[in-house]
Structure 1
C-alpha cells in the first residue's frame, strides 16, 4: 500500500513531497497514512497556518465519527495532530487537482519497503504534470 503527498506554498509552488509504503491495508488506510504523515511533517517544519486538501471524502467523513477510532486507530493520531495549537483547515479537493500526490502514492506503492521518502525537489517524471496543475 503506497501513500504520498505534496506540501505547497500559498502560490501553489512545490515545497516538499513525500511517499511511503505500508504493508497491508486498503485505500482508506492509505489516505489516512498520507494525511497523518503530511500533518506531522508540517507540524515538525513549524508551519502554523495550514490548509490541508484531501481528495478522499470517505476519510473526511470517518474523521467526523469518533466511534470509528475503535476500528481505525490511526484516526486517533490524526485527530491529535489536528488538535495541536495551530491554524489548520482540512478540506476536500478533487482528484484531478491532486494528481501529484496520487502519482507519489503510486511511487510509494512500488517502493516495496516499509519506509518513507522525503523529496526537496519534484521528481523529473512529476514536474510536467505538477506544473500543469499549479
Structure 2
C-alpha cells in the first residue's frame, strides 16, 4: 500500500537515560517509500527529555534543509515539543526560535505525533547515540546501521513509517 504523502519524512527521537541525565538524539529521513535517505545520532551530555527532543528535531530539520529534502513531513513520538512549537516556554526560547525558523525555511511542514511503535528506527539510533563516549557528539549516517536494518525493513512492510 502506497503512502498518500509523496516527499520525505523525518522521524526524530530524543532518549534521556535520566531526567535530567545523559541523553541520546537520533533520527532518520526516508522517502515516501520508506527508503533510507540519511540518518543521524549523537548525545548531549546532560539534558532532560524536552531538550533532547528539541535538539534532535533541530538536527533533523537542519539536515533536511541542507540537503533540500522537500516536501517534508515530521513525525515525533513526544507531544510536548509539538505543543511548545505552537506556544512557548522560557527555558527553551532559543531552541524554539531555531525550530520555528527552520520549519519556516522548509515551507512549514506538518509536525505529527506518531506512536512509539511507528518511531522504532529513530528510537534505536537515539538510544545508540546516548552510548557514544564523546559528549555533544553528532554522527551523520549515510547508510542504515546494522542495528536498524531489520526495523527499517519491517516498517516498509507495514508502512508504519507513514
Is it true that 1:71 corresponds to 2:71 in the alignment? no
Of 109, 114, 139, the residue aligned with 1:117 is: 139
User: Contact (CA 8 Å) 1:5, 1:104: kept in 2 or not?
Assistant: yes
Deviation at 1:87, TM superposition (A): 5.2
Q: Please state if 1:88 is matched with 2:109.
A: yes
CA deviation after TM superposition for structure 1 residue 48, in Å: 2.7
**Match runs of 1:1-134 below 5 Å:** 1-66=23-88, 68=89, 70-72=90-92, 73-84=94-105, 86=107, 88-113=109-134, 114-134=136-156
Deviation at 1:127, TM superposition (A): 0.6
SS at 2:119 equivalent: helix
How many pairs were matched up? Answer: 132
- Structure 2 unaligned segments of length 5 or more: list them: 1-22, 157-162
RMSD over aligned Cα, in angstroms?
A: 1.3
Give, in whole Å, the separation in 1 of the partners of 2:106 and 2:143: 29
Structure with the bigger percentage of helix = 1
The unaligned stretches of length 5 or more in structure 1 are none
Q: Write out per-residue CA displacement over residues 12-70 of structure 1, whole angstroms, 9 at most, x where no aligned residue.
A: 1111111011111111111111100000000000123111111111111121113x1x2
Assess if the C-alpha contact under 8 Å between 1:100 and 1:130 holds in 2: yes
- What TM-score comes out, normalization by structure 2 length? 0.77
**Is the Cα–Cα contact under 8 Å of residues 21 and 111 in structure 1 kept in the other structure?**
yes
Cα deviation, residue 112, structure 1:
2.4
Instruction: Give, in whole Å, the separation in 1 of the partners of 2:76 and 2:33.
Output: 18
Does the CA-based 8 Å contact 2:72-2:106 persist in structure 1? no
Q: Distance in 1 between matches of 2:82 and 2:57?
A: 10
Structure 1 segments (4+ residues) deviating >4 Å: none
Deviating more after overlay: 78-87 vs 45-54: 78-87
